[in-house]
Amino acid sequence: MNLSIGELARRTGLSVKAVRFYSDRGIVPTERSPAGYRRYGPEAVARLELVRTLRDLGLDLATIQQVVEGTASLPEVAAAHAEALSAQLRALRLRRAVLTAVARRGSTPEELELMHRLAKLSTTERQLLIGDFLDSVLSRTPPLAALRRTMTPELPDDPSTEQVDAWVELAELTQDPDFRATVRSLAERQVADNRGLRPDAVALIRDQVAPALAAGLEPSSSAAERVVSAVGPVDAEYLATAADPRWERYFELLAIVNGWPPPQSPAPALRWLLTGLTSTP
């Protein structure tokens, strides 16, 4: 098979100009007829098919030339390009998450800058940010070590858009001084109330009250007094602090970032118990 440049262009679906360009770069082997016209052998079709595929996959011309000349192996080039694409995809997911959050919240330029900064943090920077938050709200004493572990977000290396969005909102929440004060108060009350040995104290309260909620028992009824008493000593201020919607939101976001199942909300049980406590003589 001896093809003219026009015939080769028709066979490969490329333009004559493109075939001439690849020929001039030495990517496609070319011979000359006695009259000086370009002629191509059968290998030119396969070579141009490979070139077109690599171009469609986004490889630059210099890399393609190395592949066809044998100075770089196709598997090595493919692996490197796949990794580069993965990095680009991560960056695109990050940008999409920030822009989606801005559109949803109606953010100001200052909030946009903060969200973008939080989204771009490295793994080490994220750990430092969360570590600072946990250091400021939790005691370093052993009773709260388990609680610290359950409050630590770990964004994966290749997060989804939802995880990036959740991380940004969670990181913003940890920088809220009022939220920090709320969590610090809750932790201190758990320790003072001997609940420090039970880092899941809020979940335990939820589980103890759940049967009463399921039965439709009114918290102010005399029958509810046994449930309230069974929960043990807990003051109304502790419950009000634990029922803060930001505290619940923190764990919702934490579950998204860490890929955990959605947490069961303790708020209904806390509100029920709070009503029971305040209505009990």
Q: What is the pLDDT of residues 36-63, one digit of tens each?
A: 888 888 888 888 898 888 888 888 888 8
Tell me what pLDDT residue 180 has.
94
How high is the pLDDT of residue 256?
Answer: 96
Together in a domain, 63 and 151? no
126/68 same-domain check: no
Q: Is 100 helix (H, G, I), strand (E, B) or coil?
A: helix
Confidence of residue 199 (pLDDT cuts 50, 70, 90): very low
- Checking if the pLDDT of 194 tops 70, the result is no
Residue-level pLDDT at 280: 56
Q: Whole-angstrom Cα distance, residue 156 to residue 22?
A: 42
Owner of token pair 């370093």: 140
What number of other Cβ atoms are within 10 A of residue 62's Cβ? 9
Do 40 and 161 fall within a single domain? no
135 and 235 together in one domain: yes
Instruction: Please count the other Cβ atoms lying within 10 Å of the Cβ belonging to residue 178.
Output: 8
Domain interval for residue 34: 3-72
Of 34-38, 248-252, 261-265, minimum mean pLDDT range: 34-38
Residues 151 and 250 in one domain: yes
Q: Are residues 142 and 57 in the same domain?
A: no
pLDDT of residue 196: 44
Task: Determine, yes or no, domain membership for 82.
Answer: no
Tokens for 43? Answer: 């290998």
Q: Which of 220, 190, 188, 215 is nearest to 202 (CA)?
A: 190
- With a cut of 90, say whether residue 150 has pLDDT above it: no
- Same domain flag for 202 and 259: yes
> Domain holding 16: CATH number?
1.10.1660.10
- Is the pLDDT at 216 greater than 70, yes or no? yes
Which parts of the chain are beta strand (E)?
Answer: 3-4, 31-32, 38-40
Task: Specify whether 29 is located in the same domain as 127.
Answer: no
Shared-domain flag, residues 141 and 202:
yes
Q: Per-residue confidence at 249, pLDDT binned at 50, 70, 90? A: very high
* Residue 164 sits in the same domain as residue 271: yes
User: Does some domain include residue 221?
Assistant: yes
Looking at the fold, whether 175 and 251 belong to one and the same domain comes out as yes
Entry pTM: 0.65
pLDDT in tens, 68-120: 888 888 898 888 888 888 888 877 877 787 788 778 777 788 888 888 888 88
46/132 same-domain check: no
